[in-house]
Amino acid sequence: MTSEKHAECPVQAGFDPLSPAFLADPFAVLGSLPRDVPVFYAPSIDYYVVTRYADIEAVFLDPETYSAATAQLPLARLVPEASQILLAGGHKPQPSMVSLDPPAHARLRSPTARAFTPRRVAEMEPQVRRTVNQLLGTVDLDAPFDLVSTLTFPLPATIIFSFVGIPESDWAQIKQWGGHRAALAWGRSTPEEQVDHARNLAAYRSYLRDLVAKKAGARGDDFASALLEIHDENPEGLTHDEIGSILYSLTFAGHETTNYLIGNVVRRLLEDPARWDLIVSDPGLIPGAVLETLRYDPSVPVWRRVTKRAVTLGGVDLPEGAKLFLWLAASGRDASVFAEPEKFDMQRTSAAKTLAFGKGIHYCLGASLGKLETQIAVEILAQRFPRLRLIGEQRLSFHPNISFRGPQALWVRAER
């Protein structure tokens, strides 16, 4: 884009959300930006970065002006070979519910919400407890262990894949496909990597289409079968292909988001042992600690939109087609909404205002399941390991993508 086009808009030439410094500590980068610039253009990604709570909330609440089409758009421009593989594999540029605008969005959201009932979520609770206990049962109390590979990564995968109705023998494959999906849409891949990711996504789509066809003939008590029942009522209202697309949404959205949320919560609690001790003595504080982490260090720190017409946002004139980088993590540090935003306070009642699950028509469908899993994981961890401590001197690493953030390993010691 030319500098003329951004004459009205401040530009931060050095802002790069995939730089090592940003990945290591995005809040340090946020702190170094001028406070009176709520919207700026970042040439490194060709996006307008929006930092203020009120502006991000306004964008979420106005789908007429702000399209969700960029929600899963590959961050790096795709090479033609990768685009062709994706299209031939049935993967459209707006690949699933979270990228669709009305009325197409409702065709997928309504049946999903119908099948994703509070009863079905509540029924997951015993399985979540059983799974957490099983996973933590393997811990050797005399040695440090990585909480991510032990608990935070396998737990949400087990829960969402069994909820959806994926056979256990395929879980490892779906997790691998999820990695390709995150890297393609939210990372910066080379042309060769793009082609590899695209092949994997085409295989992922094809697997889900086959799964729907198989389930149609052999139903179970799972979410995919519940969608098939909705299809039976009106086959034109929800096609098999659309069911495959919904499964594509859930198998990904229900995994990394929650893996990273649990990791972020435990990290923030253990980083000050007094916080952990408080949780141990009063587990009633856990739901507040989860909400506070969603405000303070969310597992989905960025979400995207694109303008459908010229509009003024945060005092900046944006053209039609302006791609927006909604910095949800920055909105949680907005002092006009959250007093003393740099302070982690698990009794902060305003934390519930967090935009970490989005807002409006795309508000996260799995918010209650994700919170339930996280609360139970922390509760059982605190019961079993009341003296849990972080291993000092560890350098946390984060997957190089813009939208999913949590430690890739978190080394702890149970201490008897």
Chain contacts with ligand HEM (rule: CB under 6 A): 60, 68, 97-98, 109, 160, 249-250, 253-254, 257-258, 261, 298-300, 303, 356-360, 362-366, 369-370
CB-wise, 194 or 258, nearer to ligand HEM? 258
Nearer CB in complex with ligand HEM: 187/194: 187
Smallest distance, ligand HEM to C-beta of residue 105, A: 6
Give the residue with the Cβ less far from ligand HEM, 127 or 190. Answer: 127
Pairwise CA distance, residues 96 & 100, whole Å? 7
Token pair listed for 109: 């959201």
**In the bound complex, what is the minimum distance in angstroms from residue 59's beta carbon to ligand HEM?**
9
Whether the CB-CB separation of 380 and 323 falls below 8 Å is answered with: no
Residue 85 or 262: which CB sits closer to ligand HEM?
262
Q: Which two tokens stand for residue 297?
A: 């260090």
By C-beta, is 200 or 257 nearer to ligand HEM? 257
Q: At which residue do the structure tokens 């030439």 appear? A: 13
Q: For the CB of residue 23, give the shortest distance to ligand HEM in the complex, in Å.
A: 18
What minimum distance in Å lies between the beta carbon of 327 and ligand HEM?
Answer: 12
- Measure the CA–CA gap between 409 and 396, rounded to whole angstroms: 7
Residue 389's beta-bridge partner residues? 413
Dihedrals phi, psi of 319, to nearest 5 degrees: -80, 170
Cβ within 8 Å of residue 221, ≥6 positions away: none
Instruction: Return the SS3 of 42.
Output: strand
Spatial CA neighbour of 8 closest among 330, 310, 328: 310
Please state the closest distance from residue 376 (CB atom) to ligand HEM, in A: 13
Alpha carbon distance 372, 382 (integer Å): 15
211 touches 166 (CB < 8 A): yes
Q: In the complex, what is the shortest distance from the CB of residue 69 to ligand HEM, in angstroms, rounded to a whole number?
A: 11
* Of residues 291 and 337, the one with the C-beta less far from ligand HEM: 291
Nearer to ligand HEM, 97 or 182 (CB): 97
Q: C-beta of 295: minimal distance to ligand HEM in Å?
A: 11
Which is closer to ligand HEM, CB of 194 or CB of 251? 251
Going from the C-alpha of 12 to that of each of 1, 15, 31, 65, the distances in angstroms are 14, 6, 14, 25
Q: Half-sphere exposure of 315 toward its Cβ, with a 13 Å CA cutoff? A: 8
Which of 308, 306, 274 is closest to 289 using CA atoms?
Answer: 274
CA proximity to 332, closest of 360, 303, 354: 354
What is the β-pairing status of strands 323-327 and 47-50? parallel
Nearest-approach distance from CB 101 to ligand HEM, in angstroms: 10
